[in-house]
Amino acid sequence: MNDDNKVEATDDVVEDAPVETSVVEETPPQGDDIERIVEERLAKMKANMNSMAEQRDAALKAQATMEEAKKQETMKRLEEEGKLQELAEMKVAELTAKLAVFEEANTKLTRDGVLNSALAGLEFRNDRSREMARKDILDSVQQVDGQWQHSSGMTINDFVQSYANSEDNSFLFRIKSNTGGGTSNSAGAPSMEPKKAIGQMSTNEILALAAKGQLGNFNN
């Protein structure tokens, strides 16, 4: 057998040799890992939202500054040109706009005060739960004949009590122990839905729990 044949034979052996591969099995994240991942993602989302809000506020402030400078320049020009009627109309429009902003702010403060007073007697799980309830009710609060009421026609106090007694909102409130009957209740009716292990939940369910401040109550 010559050298060329030896090389070819060697090549055949190499080509036919089986290739061994190692399979690395990835361990799925467990309860604590999932909580950490969710918290990290929520923190990143919050940081991004804060950054966007800061950029928006800066842009609005810069725009308002430019508009104010332009308005002052126009008013100065009108004064120099002796166009006092136009100047007076601009000043009236400016004062009217400022008054409208003041009245709107005062209205919101009054509305918020009425709602906050109605919520004050309820025992929420935490501040986040209280804020969720406040925002949920706030959009339906309206003023009728000088009085604040819910869009359903109920007074704010009555609607807040109805809201607290709804089973759908029970997760927002602290559960109170009833030593007399051996049962428990809450400021809202407690949910009887069984809890899932965190490893069995979808991403949306985990994010919903995190938003309610309940993520730490579930373990895998």
| DSSP secondary structure code for residue 190 in this structure | P
Using a cut of 0.75, tell me whether the model's pTM lies above it.
no
Query: What CA–CA distance (Å, rounded) separates 47 from 40?
Result: 10
Query: What CA–CA distance (Å, rounded) separates 83 from 96?
Result: 20
- Locate the DSSP E strands across the chain: 141-144, 147-150, 175-178, 183-186
Query: What CA–CA distance (Å, rounded) separates 188 from 194?
Result: 17
| pLDDT greater than 60 at residue 69 | yes
Q: 154's torsion region: left (phi>0), alpha (psi -120 to 50) or beta?
A: beta
Tens-place pLDDT, residues 175-190: 765 545 444 445 444 4
pLDDT at residue number 135? 92
Give the three-state DSSP class for 10.
helix
8: Cβ–Cβ under 8 A, 6 or more apart, which residues? Answer: none
Q: What is the mean pLDDT of residues 55-70?
A: 88
Q: What is the mean pLDDT of residues 192-214?
A: 60
The candidate with the shortest Cα–Cα distance to 142, out of 169, 166, 116, 115, is 115
| pLDDT greater than 70 at residue 153 | yes
| DSSP secondary structure code for residue 155 in this structure | B
Q: How many residues does the chain have?
A: 220
207 with 214: CB under 8 angstroms? no
